[in-house]
Amino acid sequence: MTSTGKILIVGGYGAVGRVISKALITLFPTQIIIAGRNIKKAAIFSSKLSPKVIPLELDITSFSKQDVQLDGISLVIMCIDQTDTKFVSECINRGINYIDITANYNFLSKIESLNTEAQNHNSTVILSVGLAPGITNLLAKQCRSKVQDMRFADIYILLGLGEEHGEAAYRWAFNDLNDTYFIKEEGNRIKVRSFEDGKQTLFPNNLGKRTAYRSNFSDQHSITKTLNLDSVSTRICFDPAIMSNMYALMRKTGFSKLLTFTIVQDFLIKLLKLFRFGSNQFVIKIEAGSNRKQTLLYECSVNGTGQGKTTGLVAAKVAEKLYTSSFDSGVFHIEELFEPLSFIKELNDNLNYLEKDMKK
């Protein structure tokens, strides 16, 4: 059933929000609202996008049930990080569908707990929308369809550092460098640290073998449940490769703690926006099987350019489908609602898919 209300893009003038807004304006030219705390930025971007786009000043941290900004809204796309679920709950209680692109599983797990609330209020909430999480989740599901007794998945992410990102993305990366978290390994909950436990894998596109290090992406936490797996881990490396090793060395020596200070983050963000090096390519690869002691049974990957652009295009495609079709009410991760290969194919030429079945 096609929706008739407005599409509210919170943070729609940010790096990823702009991609989402530009993709959706061609489909729903009179339905888009660009919202955020900075009304000037919202107004400037809205005017460049289309005179039919509505700018809106919205501060979700001070939102109350009496506010009218959500009146007439059918779908909210959240492009900024949150600390609590008050705004999400308000969307759900009003029967508004909701999409979130955050990679922070601590927050996503809080939204997961709103599943019954979403079912009761006829709201569909979709999480893990983007590149990682998002495409990573879908590729893991593709592996699940090929390996009948699949029990583990190793997720490898290669990111080129030549692309400019939004401020929130940089801060997430700095904080992740110092993170300690729990994963599921052979059914047990174990504690690991980001940028330790390096593991080599062979990437496509003549990138060769690279050492990737643990990183606290949310996909490894969610797909253990949605795909019923015993072991899932996500590792990351960079292009150029020297940056991966430098990050690992910073973690090992303790210099990474400097990146927890806001003043240091502010300085590095300004520096990274002025001087970028490396490519803007990315590769997502999944290795999967039934037993880690045996030969891998299946692996698949996608590669492309523009991490932020791809996250935005994935979110826009999910939004298009959620706005024009009927889905069950509740809280879902992307892999619970979409078939991997058909979804990836609908992203046009932005992703190249490869697979290798070791059973053949």
Which pLDDT score is estimated for 360? 55
218 and 70 in a common domain? no
154 and 201 in a common domain? yes
Is 1 a domain residue?
no
Which pLDDT score is estimated for 207? 85
Q: Give me the domain span that covers residue 223.
A: 131-307+343-357
Cα distances (Å, whole numbers) of residue 78 to 14, 17, 226, 242, 315? 11, 9, 22, 34, 10
322 and 290 in a common domain? no
The candidate with the shortest Cα–Cα distance to 36, out of 16, 18, 13, is 13
169 and 59 in a common domain? no
207 and 332 in a common domain? no
Count of helices and strands (H, E) across the chain: 12, 16
Which pLDDT score is estimated for 2? 59
Distance CA 317, CA 311 (A): 10
Which pLDDT score is estimated for 349? 65
319 and 283 in a common domain? no
Name the stretches of the chain with pLDDT < 70. Answer: 1-2, 66, 295, 349-350, 359-360
Which pLDDT score is estimated for 12? 96
pTM of the model: 0.93
Cβ-Cβ contacts under 8 Å for 232 (sequence gap 6 or more): 140, 152, 153, 154, 155, 183, 184, 219, 220, 221, 223, 224
Burial class (CB in 10 A: 0-12, 13-18, 19+), 83: exposed
Which pLDDT score is estimated for 359? 65
What does the chain come to in residues?
Answer: 360
Tokens of 242: 């020297």
- The CATH number of whichever domain residue 179 belongs to comes to 3.30.360.10
- The CATH number of whichever domain residue 40 belongs to comes to 3.40.50.720
Distance CA 315, CA 252 (A): 36
CB 225 within 8 A of CB 133: no
Structurally, the chain folds into a number of domains equal to: 2
Look at phi and psi of residue 228 and say left if phi exceeds 0, alpha if psi is from -120 to 50, else beta.
Answer: left
Query: Which string of b and e fits 277-304 if b means at least 16 CB within 10 Å?
Result: ebebbbbbbbbbbbeeeeebbbbbbbbb
Kindly calculate the radius of gyration of the chain based on its CA atoms and give it in whole angstroms.
20
323 and 303 in a common domain? no
Cis peptide, bond prior to residue 340, ω within 30 of zero? no
319 and 255 in a common domain? no
142 and 30 in a common domain? no
Cis peptide, bond prior to residue 133, ω within 30 of zero? yes
Angle of the 262-274 helix axis to the 167-176 helix axis, nearest 10? 120
Q: Which residue has the tokens 């990366």?
A: 173
